[in-house]
C-alpha cells in the first residue's frame, strides 16, 4: 500500500495555497501526468464545497481515469480527497495549510493508495510514486508563477 507524505515551507499565505490547490480545473496546465480534469458536480455550502471530479492521468501509452470526491474546507484550510471509481482499490489524499509567523505557510500533502490490479500497480506504481514526489514542487512552481517569488499580502 504505497503512501507518500511531505511538508513544504512556502512564502505564500495559507489561503493562497489553499486556493491554488482547490483550483482543480487548472491541474492539466501544470501537474505531472495529469492530462485532463473535469468537474462533474459542485455543491457549495456555507463552510465547505464538495466536488466530484474525473482526472485522467497518463504515462507513455497508458491512460487511466478515476473519479474522486473533493471536499474543500476553506475555513479549516483543509482539502480532503476520497476515491470513488477507477483503477484503484482505494485512494486517500489530504492537504493542509498551516500559517507561519513570517506570513508563509507549511503545506502538508499526504496520499495513500493501492491499485486494484497487481499488473497495473506494477506498470504504473513506480511512475505514480515519482509523480507524487513531483506534485509538491509543481504546486510551488505554480504558486511562484501566480503569486510571485515572495507571495502576496
DSSP type of residue 45: -
pTM of the model: 0.89
pLDDT tens string, the chain, 153 residues long: the values are: 678 898 999 999 999 999 999 999 999 999 988 999 999 999 998 889 999 999 998 877 878 899 999 999 999 999 999 999 998 899 999 999 999 999 999 999 999 988 888 877 776 667 777 777 788 889 999 999 999 887 654
Nearest-angstrom CA–CA distance, 48 and 152:
24
Burial degree of 81 (CB within 10 A; 0-12, 13-18, 19+): buried
- Which residue is associated with the grid cell 484503484? 88
Q: Which CATH number fits domain 3-147: 3.30.70.3270, 3.30.530.20, 3.40.50.720, 1.10.3720.10?
A: 3.30.530.20
DSSP type of residue 124: H
* Residue 18 grid coordinates: 489553499
Amino acid at each position: 500500500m504505497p503512501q507518500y507524505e511531505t511538508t513544504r515551507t512556502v512564502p505564500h499565505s495559507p489561503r493562497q495555497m489553499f486556493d491554488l490547490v482547490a483550483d482543480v480545473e487548472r491541474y492539466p496546465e501544470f501537474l505531472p501526468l495529469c492530462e485532463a480534469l473535469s468537474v462533474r458536480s459542485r455543491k457549495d455550502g456555507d463552510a465547505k464545497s464538495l466536488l466530484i471530479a474525473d482526472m485522467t492521468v497518463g504515462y507513455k501509452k497508458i491512460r487511466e481515469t478515476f473519479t474522486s470526491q473533493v471536499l474543500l474546507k476553506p475555513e479549516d484550510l483543509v482539502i480532503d480527497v476520497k476515491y470513488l471509481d477507477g483503477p484503484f482499490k482505494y485512494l486517500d489524499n489530504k492537504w493542509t495549510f498551516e500559517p507561519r509567523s513570517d506570513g508563509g505557510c507549511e503545506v502538508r500533502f499526504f496520499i495513500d493508495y493501492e491499485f486494484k490490479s497487481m499488473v497495473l500497480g506494477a506498470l504504473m506504481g513506480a511512475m505514480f510514486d515519482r509523480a507524487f514526489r513531483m506534485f509538491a514542487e509543481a504546486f510551488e512552481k505554480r504558486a511562484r508563477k501566480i503569486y510571485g517569488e515572495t507571495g502576496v499580502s
